[in-house]
Amino acid sequence: MTMKTRNLDDSQAAIGAFIFCIRCVLLIVLFMPLIVSTSAFFPFVVGKAVFYRIFIEIAFLMWIPLVILSPKFKDFKSPIVIVVFIYMLIATIASFTGVSSNVSIWSTYERMQGLFDLLHWFAYFIMARSLFTNSSQWKIFLSVNLLVSAIVCFIGLSQYLGFHSLISNFAEDNPSERIQSSLGNAAYVGAYCVANIFIATALISKSVSDFFSNTSINPKNQAPKRNKSKLNTTFKFKNTKIEFIFISFWTVCLTANMVTLLLSGTRGAWLGFGIAFLFATVLYALVGKIKYLKKISIAFIVFFVLFLITFISFRDTDFGRDIGNSNVIAGRFIDFSFNDSSVMSRWHTWRAGIKASMDKPILGWGTDNFVIAWGRYFDASDTVKEKFDQAHNKLIEELTTKGIIGLIAYSAIWIVLIYSIVKNYNRSKSIGNQSYLLLISAALVGYFIQNLFLFDTSVTYSQFIVLIALISSMDQNFWSNSKENYSEYIGSTNIKLSFKTIHLQLSRKLTVYTASIILIPIIIYSIYSFSIKTYTAAQHTVYLTADNYPSWEQKVSVYNSAISDAPGLANYPRILMIEGIAKDWYEFTPEIKLEAYDIVEKAAIDGLNQEPEGWRLTYMLARFYQIASTDNPSLMDKSDYYVNRIEELAPGTIEAKIAREVNNRAHEFHQSQTIE
């Protein structure tokens, strides 16, 4: 063996090991739905965000040297990559031009969906599409995704059946009778299941079709006219045992997700599933190649229509109402009406979002700043008592927070997805491949429809990222499943750079070493500062919600730690601290009152500097000064200021009405004290 050959083999082995490690880390991210941080604030949100942040950053640290070493990973010319990049660019600009850049970048503990997290998912999308490049690799990827969904379903079903001792670390004791599992909300569970139902069906459909050795759609394979209903197809099993295991596993996952979707009682998810199912069956009835499957599709369509008619008629009968009254989940469907509180609240929220978008039409109010826009234009506090920090409609959310440009960019992603799917469908001649594409398309349809009534979370958004990465990775070689040749990934010794008259040659290995030296400390700093410290801050924030605490000094210490550990998320601890001070004000000693007053004053300056139009913080400040004015009537001037301010920022909210009503009573009280 020559030295050159030995070096080539070493390079192939190194790149192969790198690719394997990065793929494993990307697969680990898929386990994020199982993470529940019971000791942190918003336990179903914060732990998940910290988990995927850390592992995506680790994968990115390994991926960058791979991109430098191998030119093959530099293919970013996919139309989907381009439109997603443009969308991310617009989201970034909107984040810095909106009403609160701080919220846009870091979001809140409740959501963790700011620009920082969007960039992580964008990186995940780029890495997944570049490292999983054929259908065999994606079969493993999607199977791991289904495995996680099956575990989520198992946790949810255990919760529903009352086996709380088995899942105490993953789910709460659920009094609502709707499955929440490790996601913490039945709506999220339903949306997650819809995507995985169609993913499982797509894998089953392709695998079963691949059992046939001759499924290529061409004139030679068309059935003779005298027997059109039969395809010239013969069975030829390859790796039958392995495929049978896969099919059995996918079937179990499919069943688990179907049952869990039903028991989640999520109407938006069921609507998404129904329309996606109808989409798949109608489309196959129109363009499908197997005639008996086309007949089955038509039968499903007829059954769906008859079921819908029967259900609408049945729900108005005494028997239907009795079922609705006896079962919470059945009642959510049977008792549904357009006057339902959830429907009305969404309607008023959508209207507020559309009105707000007219105020800032180009780039919107800023990523994740919907609650500020909602507060400004919401005017139905008499009938809607909830606070909406999400639009519960993805299109309105994009329009409000990123303006018409952001909505166009988001719509462009879907247009390019449709184009790519149609292109790949027409290019593929295999029945299995076409059914696979059709069902993956149905998963995207289900996601899109349910998001017209719900909103993204880290779990549901991860499914969208997985699906678009899958579509983006499809090229002419996607279905070939040829053995991976790592020699293809090895580039030349030097990197050639040319700019006008300047020509440079850089050592590829030296560039990798330099990039690693730069990246390693950056990633370590990011993991520590924006993930680990964020988690510890969330743990400190939980302490601020406690009714009883050992001492005032300890609470102040915890509060300061929550602020310093995660400055970008500090307004939640500030609001909780001010709320706690206002609640306990009359029990404080004069010395503690002075210290508490200083804390509130500083929180007002720092908090409103971060979030100038943050009406929730403004409301808490108004409430504090109203209460503190009982000791010092001159503080009513500050109370008046903050009450007037909240009426500017959120005039139609119940908080503004409460603040004004209490303020009037406070003035009356002080006037009566002056007269006496």
pLDDT bin (cut points 50, 70, 90) of residue 508 is low
Joined tokens for residue 558 = 């915890």
Joined tokens for residue 567 = 């400055």
Lowest-confidence range among 13-22, 570-579, 652-661? 13-22
Checking if the pLDDT of 206 tops 50, the result is yes
pLDDT at site 562: 96
pLDDT at site 491: 57
CA-nearest of 116, 132, 161, 179 to 30 is 132
HSE, side-chain direction, 13 A CA sphere, residue 509? 3
Neighbours of 555 (CB within 10 A): 19
Average pLDDT of 612-618?
95
Checking if the pLDDT of 414 tops 90, the result is yes
For residue 223, give every residue at least 6 positions away whose Cβ sits within 8 Å of its Cβ, in sequence order, or none: 229, 230, 231, 232
Tokens 């139609």, residue located? 652
pLDDT at site 505: 64
Partners of 495 in the beta sheet?
Answer: 506
pLDDT at site 495: 60
Sign of the alpha-carbon dihedral angle for 313, 314, 319, 324: negative
Q: How far apart are CA 276 and CA 448, in angstroms?
A: 9
CA 479-480-486 angle, to 5 degrees, is 120
Q: How far apart are CA 171 and CA 43, in angstroms?
A: 10
pLDDT in tens, 321-346: 666 666 666 666 676 666 777 788 88
Average pLDDT of 485-509?
61
Instruction: Write out the DSSP string of 474-515.
Output: --TTTTT-PPP-GGGG---SEEEEEETTEEEEEEHHHHHHHH
Tokens 């971060």, residue located? 610
Q: How far apart are CA 158 and CA 179, in angstroms?
A: 9
Residue 269 · residue 196 · CB < 8 Å? no
Q: What is the dihedral of CA 566, 119, 507, 501, to 10 degrees?
A: -120
Write the CA distances from 623 to 94, 222, 545, 647, 662, integer angstroms: 32, 77, 17, 14, 8
Joined tokens for residue 377 = 């234009």
pLDDT at site 342: 78
Helix (H) / strand (E) element for 602: namely: helix 590-610
What burial letters (b/e) apply to 394-429, b meaning 16+ CB within 10 Å?
bbbbbbbbbbebbbbbbebbeebbeebbeebbeebe
Residue 392 · residue 374 · CB < 8 Å? no
pLDDT at site 225: 47
Q: Write the DSSP symbol of residue 528.
A: I
pLDDT bin (cut points 50, 70, 90) of residue 234 is very low
Checking if the pLDDT of 535 tops 80, the result is yes
Joined tokens for residue 605 = 């300056």
Residue 124 · residue 133 · CB < 8 Å? no
pLDDT bin (cut points 50, 70, 90) of residue 662 is very high
CA-nearest of 464, 620, 572 to 45 is 572
What burial letters (b/e) apply to 474-504, b meaning 16+ CB within 10 Å?
beeebbeeeeeebeebbbeeebeeeeeeeee
Lowest-confidence range among 136-150, 453-467, 534-548, 553-567? 534-548
Lowest-confidence range among 94-108, 200-214, 555-569, 629-643? 200-214
Q: How far apart are CA 233 and CA 399, in angstroms?
A: 51
Q: What percent of the chain has pLDDT over 70?
A: 84
Checking if the pLDDT of 217 tops 50, the result is no
Checking if the pLDDT of 568 tops 80, the result is yes
pLDDT in tens, 160-202: 888 776 676 776 666 567 889 999 999 999 999 999 999 999 9
Q: How far apart are CA 560 and CA 563, in angstroms?
A: 5
pLDDT bin (cut points 50, 70, 90) of residue 676 is low
pLDDT in tens, 33-58: 999 999 999 999 999 999 999 999 99
